[in-house]
Amino acid sequence: MRKISILCICIIATTFIFGQSSFSFVGPDKEVNPYSYIVIKRGEFKQAAVSSAHPLASMVGAAIMKRGGNAFDAAIATQLVLAVVYPQAGNIGGGGFLLARKVNGELIGIDYREAAPEKANRDMYLDKNGNPQMNLSLAGHLASGIPGTVAGLFATMPYAKLAFEQLIQPAIDIAAKGYVLTEKEAANLNGVRESITKNSTQPSAFVRSIKWKVGDTLVQKDLAATLTRIQKEGARGFYDGKTAELIVAEMQRGNGIIGLNDLKNYTAKLRNPLSFNYRGHEIISFAPPSSGGILIAQMMKMVEKYPMSKYGFQSTKSVQLMIEAERRAYADRAEFMGDPDFFKVPVKTLMSDAYLSQRMSDYNPEKASVSSSIKAGIIKESEETTHLSIVDPAGNLVSVTTTLNNSFGNRTVVGGAGFILNNEMDDFSVKPGVPNMYGAIGGEANSIQPGKRMLSSMTPTLVLKDKKPYIVIGTPGGTTIPTSVYQALINVIDFNMSVGDAIDKPKFHHQWLPDEVAIEPDFDSNTKEQLIKMGYKITPRGSIGKTEGIRILPNKRRETAADKRGDDSVAGF
């Protein structure tokens, strides 16, 4: 195993006694030590692998599989630990998508995306002159959709082998006894101190009188109590009883609209995964209300007939072609994609060869297209999220992307319950043509309606090669998610890279509007100059995504990689 980035945290407490169940493998001097852990960027494991945004979460996932759990058990336990150790995106107050392939070939898609509350309406973020008040969909109580994560975890249970009580124990232990903060986590908490104080109505574990620093221990008693209620009462421990009452009381103190009925009526939904073929690989991804699966299908099919490997990795030719595919796919996102239970999304047409070749009919390899003249196709039929990738010893594949939307969601901690709520309502189109936090625009397809799920870009994805499990991948990054997954897959399939290199290479992003190409700081400067000459507006930006990937090699070893861009870390055996 190669340890690239090492972060050593000193043991600062040895006297705590951790939970005593048979699953109490968390504690000082135990298999998972929250006071001393390291970040491991890449690994090759014989049987089981986890890649996630936090070393403790990945280690717990692997420990669960060592004790006989499968990839679904590991996904449940890993998400719960992320809800404790990665509060900027790991959550029980948000939502997500789980995509899986069982070793018998069965595909599973679980949609636990947040939904608009009963009292929501399409104009709820407009002032009396019809102007959007973006602050309301981004921060504070009104920004939150009905949380879906806990329902999603219980919808995963039929595929798991172990008891939920065991799977949640590590998260309870870490919340109750604390874990040591990395430098990045301390800085993140300090960065949101003011907005959490402003938007929350009661004190919380995230804000203390002095600033956080690396090595400090974060203890979350209220969160431990909430998780214990879920352990004892199941999903009702969140959607009913005390936790539900705490959420509704928080809403009432802050003019929010989520009510007891919203919580009681929330359900996770099964969605049929989408699949398509790319150069002999079967790519499987998430259906609406995610736009991700359709977008990667469109982008990959649009470039498939061109000799990408001959063009070369990040040559002007390959990048320019990929940008033009991105532009066209994202134009369709704005027009045609939304919650399929409320809007008929023309999935088949959007992914069809005939439609996609017509979309590229005006592609010019010599110069930039202009977004104002691209528009969506004509169809006759009517930055914080987190990803985890898991492969278990049997070969089950699980890919989960889960989110609060923005980093630390709506910055509102549910008083007495210790968790942060999402600000997912901003993913709706608050007004046709008005960009959201990610600059994405939309219209009727993604307008607000009670019970409707806001359009997502989350793209948990699986790849089969020769009909056998090959890749598990996904990433956070708002609207950059589908482009990151698309580019990482092309890096493996066309440019022959390992999954780790494919993830770590610099990325670029075009989303139709704004008509510009965002590039990461280490993007090739020569290609950048050539693109500018062809008429592209280039906008340098910070890092794009934090992708977690696992590839199954011909010798069955699990080549596992965590993105270089964060504290993301792998574990396995």
Active site positions, annotated: 385
Report the residue from 335, 384, 494, 559 that binds ligand DON according to the rule CB under 6 A.
384
Instruction: Write out the two tokens for 483.
Output: 């482009």
Count of residues of this chain found to bind ligand DON when the rule CB under 6 A is applied: 14
Burial (CB count <10 Å: 0-12, 13-18, 19+), residue 521? exposed
Binding flag, residue 511, ligand DON (CB under 6 A): no
Q: Residue 340, Cα to own-chain centre: how many angstroms?
A: 20
For residue 123, list its beta bridge partners.
none
Residue 548 binding ligand DON, by CB under 6 A: no
Query: At its nearest, how many Å lie between ligand DON and the CB of residue 478?
Result: 4
- Residue 180, CB-side half-sphere exposure with 13 Å CA sphere: 23
91 binds ligand DON (CB under 6 A): no
| Shortest separation between residue 290's beta carbon and ligand DON, angstroms | 7
Interface residue with ligand DON, options 19, 476, 482, 566 (CB under 6 A): 476
Structure tokens at 139: 């921060």
The answer to whether residues 267 and 235 touch, using CB atoms and an 8 Å cutoff, is no
The yes or no reply on residue 145 touching ligand DON (CB under 6 A) is: no
Q: Using the rule CB under 6 A, which residue among 33, 52, 231, 405 binds ligand DON?
A: 405
**Joined tokens for residue 450:** 């009670």
Contact status: 477 vs ligand DON (CB under 6 A): yes
Per CB under 6 A, the segment of 140-148, 198-206, 254-262, 382-390 that binds ligand DON is: 382-390
Q: Parallel, antiparallel, or unpaired for β 281-285 and 461-465?
A: antiparallel
Q: Smallest gap, in angstroms, from Cβ of residue 281 to ligand DON?
A: 24
Subset of 415-434 contacting ligand DON (CB under 6 A): 424, 427
Task: Closer to ligand DON by CB, 143 or 224: give it.
Answer: 143
Residue 249 burial (C-beta neighbours within 10 Å; 0-12, 13-18, 19+): middle
Q: Which is nearer to ligand DON, 318 or 386 (CB)?
A: 386
Burial class (CB within 10 angstroms; exposed 0-12, middle 13-18, buried 19+) of 305: exposed
Helix (H, G, I), strand (E, B) or coil at 405: strand
Task: List Cβ neighbours of 77 (8 Å cut-off, separation of 6 or more).
Answer: 60, 61, 64, 69, 167, 168, 170, 171
Helices (H), 39-133: 55-66, 71-85
From the CB of 426, what's the least distance to ligand DON, in Å? 8
SS (H, E, C) 472-505: EEECCCCCHHHHHHHHHHHHHHCCCCCHHHHHHC
If one asks whether residue 478 binds ligand DON (CB under 6 A), the answer comes out as yes
Asked if residue 204 binds ligand DON (CB under 6 A), the reply is no
339 or 524: whose CB is closer to ligand DON?
339
Q: What single letter denotes the amino acid at residue 465?
A: K
| Contact string 437-466 vs ligand DON (x = CB under 6 A) | -------------------xxx--------
Q: Provide the minimum distance between the beta carbon of 387 and ligand DON in the complex, in angstroms, as a whole number.
A: 9
Bridge partners of 569, per DSSP, are 52
Q: Does 288 bind ligand DON (CB under 6 A)?
A: no
Detail the DSSP E strand segments found in 212-345: 217-218, 269-270, 274-278, 281-285
Closer CB to ligand DON, 99 or 230, in the complex: 99
Residues near 7 by beta carbon (within 8 Å), at least 6 away in sequence: 37, 38, 39, 182, 183, 567
Minimum CB distance to ligand DON smaller for 339 or for 383: 383
Least distance CB 372 / ligand DON (angstroms): 25
Nearer to ligand DON, 41 or 113 (CB): 113
Which parts of this chain interact with ligand DON (CB under 6 A)? 383-385, 403, 405, 424, 427, 456-458, 476-478, 481
